[in-house]
Amino acid sequence: MKLTVQTIADAQTDLIDEFQFFDDWMDRYQYLIDLGRKLPEFKEEWRTDANRVHGCQSQVWLRASGDANRLHFDAISDSAIVSGLIAILLRVYSNRSASEIISTMPGFITEIGLDSHLSATRSNGLHAMLKAIKAHAGAVLDQNHG
């Protein structure tokens, strides 16, 4: 039996489909919180200033590992909803190639409706996390071409 790896486009489509299942935003927020609770453990020694994502109102740490062929991200926040936002970003962008990360626009954010239903501070935080993920991918590509 062959294991098929989900493409980055499939990951976005699946997230959009999951969120469309919910009729109202209270249910969608609860789903986000539930996703955040399922994040893998984030080790205490990873909670360094170097791993801190700036631009978020809550505290967020993001750690990248791997290489240009496959970047893995671990992240955590002290906010339940932000942890959920992290969970969906990691579903789309973690364990992808650096070039795929950089070239993939986060269309799912608009499709789900996050851009219009998040507070300004949470929206800024979401974009700061996305920028950090893409910056890690860009730095890895620069190292390979430098």
Instruction: Provide the strand spans (E) within 54-143.
Output: 60-67, 70-77
Q: In which residue are the tokens 């539930």 written?
A: 34
Q: In which residue are the tokens 């909670």 written?
A: 47
56 is catalytic: yes
| CA 126/CA 140 separation, integer angstroms | 22
Q: Which of 11, 56, 76, 114 is catalytic?
A: 56
Distance set, CA 91 to CA 10, 31, 56, 96, 120 (Å): 10, 14, 20, 10, 23
The catalytic residue positions are: 56
